Amino acid sequence: MTAGAPSEPAPGLSLSIGPDGWLTGSAGEAMDPPPVDSTGHRTVAPGILRRPSPNHDQRPDGEDPYLLVIHNISLPPGVFTGDAIIDFFQNRLDISSHSWFENIRDMRVSAHFLIRRDGTIVQFVPTVLRAWHAGVSSFEGRERCNDFSVGIELEGTDTLAYTDAQYERLAALAAAIRARHPIRAVRGHEHIAPGRKTDPGPAFDWDRFESTTR
């Protein structure tokens, strides 16, 4: 597999989100083996992983998300190997494994999804629940964007180009989210938390993304 290529099988990948807010693949038919361990880890379909995070809670009553927020993350910054992001969102990160991790020792955050450099999609929180991804934020005059948004993390940095596989999987994932929820806007973290956040940064090609999701 070449660098940045999506996990097999890429052609014809079909994604959908069920009533419970969990992503399924292969035309909506999840292949769910028993959990690997007590954390509920599952391989839903090739290239789609479920890694439940405790960092979530209920949305406000009657709230159906209408905003999609795109972020980036790499742990340590600029490093794209290992499972530090997954461990971080599951509150399992070994702080002693890298000096930079002291900066995030007490943070309890999550996103609904992570798309890795090879296109693998990892889901942490069902879309019907509130993930803790936006922090202090506002959109169209309304604060607390976590209440009404779905958060997608791209493994990357503000300045390094995202991979073809990530754009392909992001388009498919965004379509699945739109089919399940009344999404009417897509913004970067930088747009809902200006001055505090900069992601997904200038490396993210908004024109490319929008051309694949029309």
Supply φ then ψ for residue 145, to 5 degrees: -60, -20
DSSP annotation of 210: H
Structure tokens at 59: 């949305």
Supply φ then ψ for residue 23, to 5 degrees: -75, 140
Strand intervals (E) in 67-112: 67-73
Structure tokens at 183: 């999404």
How many Cβ atoms from other residues are within 10 Å of residue 81's Cβ? Answer: 7
DSSP 3-state assignment of 185?
Answer: strand
Element of type H or E holding 48: strand 48-50
Among 25, 54, 209, which residue's Cα sits nearest to residue 132? 54
109/94 Cα distance (integer angstroms): 15
Concerning whether 153 is annotated as a catalytic residue, the answer is yes
Distant-in-sequence, close-in-space partners of 210: CB < 8 Å, separation ≥ 6? none
Candidates 153, 155, 168, 190; catalytic one: 153
Among 171, 68, 156, which residue's Cα sits nearest to residue 118? 156
Catalytic residues: 153
